[in-house]
């Protein structure tokens, strides 16, 4: 690839006075810029000095952004220029589609999209675009945060309508994708009541069955256990409501007794790695909440976690035992 | 989470190789003298890079030994050159990346060269590491700058008027107010309600409202709440318990911490999450031996610490790993050779600096009546 012609050698830029970056004699962590970056930013500083906002400024800022997508001043000036010259923002968004995939982890890429969307106001297509980026990285924090912002900001029932299916696809691909579980919680419980979700009892029941079935397929999944805890706490339902469901997961495979198919309490699937430490922890929490004699049962479970099933967190389980015993003494 | 006990027991008593202190100091010193063009994305964040590099040397107690008097003086000058004044008050810019000339006396910044709140926080700490007397700090100007950065929802922008905002900037505003010992630049109640809006059902905090719980932002939420000028903790005992539970579960069998549920361990979360536990008074729940074993495996053979074994090192992961070790020095056994390489002085977990440096910062930056 040949280097692009320097701005200094391009007649159409000859009217701009480039401004070299000032640096003192002994700078901290200087960057050894490429000549291309130096040339482009010299002209950018020159442009800022005159305040020019024009088509060629869009070319220049795009060039800088491609060299350094974290250059927030180039983004800021680009956005101001787009507005000043009444540029077509949908074209800009299209250009951003490419840049977003290349620089998925750069905050500025997503911030710029957010500013564009505030003007364009067509969030539905954005949701489709975001879904595409998840094929590259389904846990990208910026992308998720942008999606959550879009939904909350535009808050339109048509937008929300597809979210549950969207999450289910992602969880089907990776049942341990915590970002998807989080998004499910946000969609169902923390963003108001959407169309078709008015019967909250039914929604609660549906979500409990969904997460139980997920645990039944893959019991050792922290995300699913956090989700079931989250649902119960959100509704102020005691954990003991799901005792029947949780208990089999605290036992070994040989100790399983379930022979009926109980839809409310799906049993561990064959081949599951049991007992499941998350279930033991959950069960201990049920005993702890009961207090009294049950606290001793809880401490037995914490002991088994510290000594056998979750040794890496031994100090934590010992702490829980101390706290539990202190609670029954007072 | 569950696994073979014999494997875990072995890991607990795993051989702890020496911490290559001199090599890590070498890595950050090289970065201080210059970064390759491939790292041009650090251009708008050079002050933070300087903080991670000099902060690493400070935690290793090598600032005096490795940096000449002349460099210490001229680097202080470089940082002061980034303090700028203008219509939104005063603060520090990331570097002269938008500057065409030396700032002249009385010069005012433009809308394209404004001070940045994260860079202001890192500049103050770096100056404290270099034991500056802060006589040139425009303290009243910084208070105005904080005011200009705070938004209606209680959060803070990186630069005045920008929509770029999340919990990180709020933390910086709080540390700066704490160091100035003056909270008149911020609406602390508004900021605390913004923090509350970032709490997730998992017990951790996201970067803004509706976002997934993450280690970095949970640390920031915990530190900010504990810095806030309020007499009682706004969190209920059950909320604190839940946050501790969430954080404790982020430590993997490898000893490393992951930043979110079901993610891989990363050296930086050994600071962010173990630090949250420390702030919550639950530091004793961290397995500090396996933490050190994990961080030792992230050491790059030519110096520096990377996010995970086999990756390339950088000043950010090097600093945060050393800061984690300063809070959680590993218990040492008789058969550990080079055990002195793991000795650290204590860290101030709220402002993220060696205690002596934090004390210097507080006593020199505070606005005196």
The ipTM of this complex is 0.96
**What's the pLDDT score for residue A3?**
65
Contact list in A for residue B79 (CB cut-off 8 A) is 28
State how far the Cα of B174 lies from the Cα of B164, in Å rounded to an integer: 17
The torsion angles phi and psi of A69, rounded to 5 degrees, stand at -65, -10
Substitution target in A19, A22, A25, A29 with the highest count of B β-carbons within 10 Å is A29
Question: Is A105 known to be catalytic?
Answer: yes
Q: Which of B109, B122, B164, B210 to mutate to test the interface with A (most CBs of A within 10 A)?
A: B210
Partner B contacted by A2 (CB < 8 A): no
Indicate yes or no: CB of B41 within 8 angstroms of CB of A70: yes
Indicate left, alpha or beta for B55 from its phi (over 0: left) and psi (-120 to 50: alpha). alpha
Block means of pLDDT (10 residues each) for chain A, length 330 residues?
A: 82 96 92 97 97 98 97 97 98 95 92 97 96 94 96 95 96 98 98 94 97 97 98 98 97 84 88 95 97 95 97 96 91
CA distance A265 to chain B (A): 23
How far is Cα B263 from Cα B252, in angstroms, rounded to an integer? 10
Report how far residue A279's alpha carbon sits from residue A301's, in angstroms, rounded to the nearest whole number: 10
* Contact yes or no for A21 and B97 at CB 8 A: yes
Q: In angstroms, what separates the C-alpha of A181 from chain B's closest C-alpha? A: 9
Q: Which residues in A154-171 are b (16+ Cβ under 10 Å) and which e?
A: beeeebbeebbebbeebb
Cβ count near A123 (within 10 Å): 18
Residue B214 contacts A, CB cutoff 8 Å: yes
Task: Flag whether residue B237 sits within 8 Å of chain A, measured between CB atoms.
Answer: no
| B43 chain-A contacts, CB cut-off 8 A | 31, 68, 70-71
Q: How many CB pairs under 8 A join A and B?
A: 208
Q: Which residue of B has its CA nearest to A27?
A: B78
Residues of B in contact with A76 (CB under 8 A): 112, 162
Query: Among residues 51-70 of chain B, which lie with CB inside 8 Å of chain A?
Result: 53
Residues 6+ apart with CB under 8 A from A149: A114, B208, B210
Q: Does A145 touch chain B (CB under 8 A)?
A: yes
A141 to chain B: which residues are within 8 Å by CB? 207, 211-212, 214
CB contact under 8 A, A223 and B261: yes
Q: Do A178 and B260 touch (CB under 8 A)?
A: yes
Q: Among residues A52, A57, A65, A56, which one has the least CA distance to residue A95?
A: A65
The answer to whether B49 faces chain A, any CB pair under 8 Å, is: yes
Which of 284-303 (A) contact B at CB < 8 A?
A: none
Nearest to B43 among A31, A144, A178 (CB): A31
Nearest CA in chain A to B277: A316
> Across the strands, what pairs with B150?
B156
Mutation target for A interface from B262, B269, B287, B290: give the one with most A CBs within 10 A: B262
Residue A285: the pLDDT is: 98
8-state DSSP, A195: T
Helix axes A89-102, A123-133, angle to 10 degrees: 20
Angle between the N-to-C axes of helices B267-279 and B215-227, in degrees from 0 to 180, rounded to the nearest 10 = 30
Among chain B residues, the shortest Cα distance to A28 is held by B32
The 3-state DSSP class for residue B353 equals strand
> For residue B345, is the peptide bond before it cis, meaning its omega torsion is within 30 degrees of 0?
no
Report residue B99 as tokens: 């500057």
Share of chain A above pLDDT 90, in %: 91
Task: List own/partner pairs for B259-262 with CB under 8 A and 24 or more apart.
Answer: B259/B214, B259/B215, B259/B216, B260/A139, B260/A178, B260/A179, B260/B204, B260/B212, B260/B213, B260/B214, B260/B215, B261/A178, B261/A181, B261/A222, B261/A223, B261/A226, B261/B202, B261/B213, B262/A176, B262/A177, B262/A178, B262/A221, B262/A222, B262/A223
Q: What domains appear along chain B, each with residue ranges and CATH number?
A: 13-99+108-365 (1.50.10.20)
Q: How far does B81 lie from chain A, in Å, by closest CA? A: 9
Instruction: Test A22 with B101 for CB contact under 8 angstroms.
Output: yes
Q: Does B251 touch chain A (CB under 8 A)?
A: yes
What letter would DSSP give residue B258? B
DSSP 3-state assignment of B156?
strand
Q: Residue B29: closest CA among chain A residues belongs to which residue? A: A29
The pLDDT value recorded for residue B12 is 54
Q: Are strands B89-92 and B347-348 parallel, antiparallel or unpaired?
A: unpaired
CB-nearest partner of A24 from B71, B78, B201: B78
**Measured between alpha carbons, how far is A58 from A281 in angstroms, rounded to an integer?**
57
What global pTM score does this model have? 0.96
Q: Write out pLDDT tens, residues A224-255.
A: 999 999 999 999 999 999 999 999 999 999 88
Taking contacts as CB-CB distances below 8 angstroms, the residues of chain B near A69 are 41
What distance in Å separates the CA atoms of residue A308 and residue A250, rounded to the nearest whole number? 13
Per the CB < 8 A criterion, the answer to whether B102 and B28 are in contact is no
For residue A18, the number of C-alpha atoms closer than 13 Å in the C-beta half-sphere is: 17
What is the H or E stretch that residue B91 is in?
Answer: strand B89-92
Q: Which of A105, A119, A122, A314 is catalytic?
A: A105
Kindly give the confidence (pLDDT) of every residue in chain B, 369 residues in length, as a single tens digit, with 9 standing for 90 and above.
444 444 444 455 678 999 999 999 999 999 999 999 999 999 999 999 999 999 999 999 999 999 999 999 999 999 999 999 999 999 999 999 999 887 777 789 999 999 999 999 999 999 999 999 999 999 999 999 999 999 999 999 999 999 888 899 999 999 999 999 999 999 999 999 999 999 999 999 999 999 999 999 999 999 999 999 988 889 999 999 999 999 999 999 999 999 999 999 999 999 999 999 999 999 999 999 999 999 999 999 999 999 999 999 999 999 999 999 999 999 988 878 788 999 999 999 999 999 999 999 999 999 986
DSSP A254: G
Closest CA to B210 of A182, A93, A321: A182
Per-residue tokens: A116? 């564009």
Helices (H) and strands (E) in chain B, counts: 15, 4
Distance (Å) from the alpha carbon of A11 to chain B's nearest alpha carbon: 23
Contact B262 A221 (CB under 8 A): yes
Which residues from chain A sit within 8 angstroms of residue B206, using beta carbons?
Answer: 145
Q: State the nearest Cα–Cα gap between A221 and chain B, in angstroms.
A: 8
Residues 5-34 of A with CB under 8 A from B: 19-34
Q: Which residues of chain B from 87 to 126 reach within 8 Å of chain A, CB to CB?
A: 95-102, 110, 112-113
Q: Is A141 in contact with B212 (Cβ distance < 8 A)?
A: yes
């Amino acid at each position: 690839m040949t280097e692009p012609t320097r701005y200094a050698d391009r007649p159409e830029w000859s009217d701009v006075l480039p401004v070299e970056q000032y640096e003192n004699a002994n700078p901290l962590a200087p960057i050894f810029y490429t000549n291309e970056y130096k040339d482009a930013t010299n002209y950018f500083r020159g442009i800022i000095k005159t305040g020019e906002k024009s088509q060629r400024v869009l070319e220049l800022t795009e060039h800088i952004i491609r060299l350094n997508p974290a250059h927030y001043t180039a983004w800021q000036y680009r956005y101001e220029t787009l507005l000043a010259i009444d540029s077509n923002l949908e074209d800009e968004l299209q250009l951003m589609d490419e840049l977003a995939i290349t620089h998925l982890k750069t905050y500025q890429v997503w911030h710029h999209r957010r500013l564009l969307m505030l003007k364009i106001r067509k969030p539905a297509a954005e949701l489709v675009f975001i879904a595409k980026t998840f094929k590259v990285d389904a846990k990208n924090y910026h992308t998720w945060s942008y999606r959550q912002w879009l939904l909350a900001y535009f808050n339109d029932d048509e937008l929300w309508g597809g979210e549950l299916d969207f999450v289910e696809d992602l969880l089907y691909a990776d049942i341990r994708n915590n970002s998807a579980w989080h998004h499910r919680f946000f969609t169902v419980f923390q963003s108001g009541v959407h169309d078709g979700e008015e019967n909250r009892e039914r929604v609660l029941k549906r979500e409990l069955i969904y997460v139980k079935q997920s645990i039944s397929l893959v019991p050792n999944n922290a995300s699913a256990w956090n989700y079931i805890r989250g649902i119960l706490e959100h509704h102020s339902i005691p954990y003991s409501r799901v005792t029947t469901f949780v208990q089999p997961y605290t036992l070994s495979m040989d100790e399983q007794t379930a022979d009926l198919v109980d839809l409310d309490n799906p049993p561990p699937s064959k081949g599951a790695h049991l007992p499941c430490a998350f279930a033991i922890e959950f069960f201990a929490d049920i005993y702890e909440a009961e207090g009294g004699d049950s606290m001793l049962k809880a401490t037995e479970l914490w002991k088994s976690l510290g000594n056998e099933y979750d040794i890496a967190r031994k100090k934590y389980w010992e702490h829980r035992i101390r706290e539990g015993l202190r609670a029954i003494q007072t | 989470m569950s696994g073979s006990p014999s494997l875990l027991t072995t890991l607990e008593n795993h051989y702890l190789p020496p911490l290559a202190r001199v090599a890590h100091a070498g890595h950050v010193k090289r970065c201080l003298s210059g970064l390759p063009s491939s790292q041009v994305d650090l251009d708008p964040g050079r002050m933070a890079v300087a903080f991670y590099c000099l902060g690493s040397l400070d935690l290793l107690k090598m600032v005096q030994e490795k940096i000449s008097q002349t460099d210490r003086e001229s680097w202080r000058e470089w940082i002061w050159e980034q303090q700028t004044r203008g219509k939104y008050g005063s603060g520090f810019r990331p570097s002269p990346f938008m500057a065409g000339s030396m700032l002249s006396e009385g010069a005012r910044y433009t809308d394209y060269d404004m001070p940045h709140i994260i860079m202001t926080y890192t500049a103050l700490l770096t100056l404290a590491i270099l034991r500056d007397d802060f006589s040139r700090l425009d303290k009243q100007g910084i208070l105005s700058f904080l005011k200009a950065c705070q938004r209606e929802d209680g959060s803070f922008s990186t630069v005045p008027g920008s929509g770029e905002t999340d919990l990180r900037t709020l933390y910086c505003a709080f540390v700066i107010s704490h160091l100035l010992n003056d909270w008149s630049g911020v609406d602390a109640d508004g900021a605390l309600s913004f923090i509350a809006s970032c709490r997730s059902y998992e017990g951790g905090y996201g970067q803004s409202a509706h976002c997934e719980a993450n280690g970095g932002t949970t640390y920031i939420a915990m530190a900010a709440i504990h810095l806030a000028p309020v007499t009682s903790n706004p969190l209920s005992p059950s909320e604190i318990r839940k946050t501790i539970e969430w954080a404790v579960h982020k430590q993997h069998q490898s000893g490393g911490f992951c930043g979110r549920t079901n993610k891989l361990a990363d050296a930086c979360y050994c600071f962010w999450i173990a630090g949250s536990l420390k702030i919550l008074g639950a530091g004793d729940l961290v397995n500090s031996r396996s933490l050190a074993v994990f961080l030792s495996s992230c050491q790059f053979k030519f110096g520096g610490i990377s996010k995970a074994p086999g990756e390339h090192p950088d000043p950010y992961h090097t600093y945060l790993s050393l800061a984690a070790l300063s809070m959680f020095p590993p218990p040492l056994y008789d058969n550990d050779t080079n055990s002195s390489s793991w000795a650290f002085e204590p860290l101030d977990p709220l402002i993220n600096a060696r205690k002596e440096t934090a004390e210097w910062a507080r006593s020199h930056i505070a606005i005196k009546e």
